[in-house]
A and B are shown apart, each in its own frame.
Chain A
Amino acid sequence: MADEHRERPRKAGEVWVHRESDQVAAYVPETGHLHALNPSAMAIWDLCDGTTTVGEMIQAVAELTDADLSQAERDVLRTLDELAKRGLVEGWWGAS
C-alpha cells in the first residue's frame, strides 16, 4: 500500500519559516501569503526534500505514531494535499 506512493515531493521555492513553541508560521514571499501550520503538517513538510518518497513518509508516520498504515496513509496524503494547495510543496499532484 505505502510502497505504491513513489512520488518525491519537495519544498516549493522560497519559504520563510518561523517556529515558536508549538506554532509554526510559513511565509511565501512570492505570493505574500502567511500560513499557520500545525506541528504534524510541519513535520511532513520537513520531509519534502525531493528524495523521500511519500511511501517512506507513510511508513515512518505509522511506525512513530503507532497508527496502522491505512490511517497513516490518509493523514499523510491529506496533509500533502493541503500543503500543495497552499503552494508550499511541488511534485505532488494530489492523492487521487
Chain B
Amino acid sequence: MYSPDGVFAGALCAALAGVSRPVRAADVRQLLELAANSSPDAVIAHILPGGSHQVITDLAAHAPVVVVGPDDEEAMLMSVESGATGYALQDGSLQAIVDAVEAVVDGRAMVPPMMLGSLLRAVVQRRRRQRVERESLEGLTPRELQVLDLLTSGQNGQQIARALIISPETVRTHIQHIMSKLDLHSRAEVVAFGGRNRLEEWRSRE
C-alpha cells in the first residue's frame, strides 16, 4: 500500500495488520514494483485530488486495486474507470478501507454505498454520450474514418497525406468535414473524440 500521508499510512497498516500482512511502499514507483513482483492479494493506493489515475491502470494489471480518495463523484468515477475495484473515502473510517480490501480480495467491487446512486447516474450518462458519439460516426465516409483513425493515432496532416496517397489540402478538407459532421471545433477535439470511440472500436476487434 502507499499513501503520501505518512501518519495515515501508518494507521492504515495497523488497521490492516489484523486481516493481512500489509507492505508499505515509500512511493508510487516502489508500489508499482511491489505489485509487479510480489503478487499481492490487493493494492491500496491513496490518490490525492488531482493525482494521476494512470497509476491505477498500471497497478490493476497486477492485483485488484482499492483507491483511497476524496469524497468526490468525479474522482471516484475516474478511479473505477481506470481499473480500481474498490474505492474508500480518505476522510472515512479505516474500517471502511479494510472492508473494501476484503471485498476486492473476495472478488467483489466496493464503493461507498451512499455514493452508489450518483455513480450509477454518471455511468448511465457516460454510456448515453458514447452511444450518441458512436451513432454520429455513422455519418462519416470510409475515407473520413481513415483520416480520423490516423489523426487519432498521432499522425499529422503530411503523414496522413502520404499514408493515404492524397494531397495535404485534401486531408485538411476531410478534417473540416469530420469536424462539421461531429460538431467538433478543433483538431484536439477530433483526436479526443477518436480516442474515445474509434480506438475503443479497434480494441473490441482484437
Contacts and interface: CB of A to CB of B under 8 A. Distances in A.
Contact of B113 (A39, A52, A56, A57): A39
Contact of A57 (B85, B119, B124): B124
Contacts, number: 55
A47 B121 contact: yes
Given A19-B114, A43-B116, A56-B127, A64 B109 contact: yes
Given A40-B113, A42-B117, A66 B127 contact: no
Given A64-B80, A64-B111, A65-B109, A46 B117 contact: yes
Residue of B80, B119, B121, B124 ringed by the most chain A CB atoms within 10 A: B124
Contact of A43 (B85, B120, B128): B120
A22 interface: yes
B184 interface: no
A46 B113 contact: no
A19 B127 CA distance: 28
B123 interface: yes
Dominant secondary structure of chain B at its interface with chain A? helix
Interface residues of B, number: 17
A61 interface: yes
Most central of B111, B117, B120 by chain A CB within 10 Å? B120
Contact of B124 (A38, A39, A47, A65): A47
Of listed B111, B113, B118, B119, residue having the most chain A CB within 10 A: B113
Contacts of A57: 120, 124
Interface of A: 19, 21-22, 38-40, 42-47, 52, 56-57, 59-61, 63-67
Shortest Cβ-Cβ A-B pairs, 10 listed: A39-B113, A46-B117, A43-B116, A43-B117, A60-B123, A66-B109, A65-B109, A60-B120, A60-B124, A56-B124
30 contacts: A22-B114, A39-B117, A40-B113, A42-B116, A42-B117, A43-B116, A43-B117, A43-B119, A43-B120, A44-B120, A45-B117, A46-B117, A46-B121, A47-B121, A47-B124, A52-B124, A56-B124, A56-B128, A57-B120, A57-B124, A59-B123, A59-B127, A60-B120, A60-B123, A60-B127, A64-B109, A64-B111, A64-B119, A65-B109, A66-B108
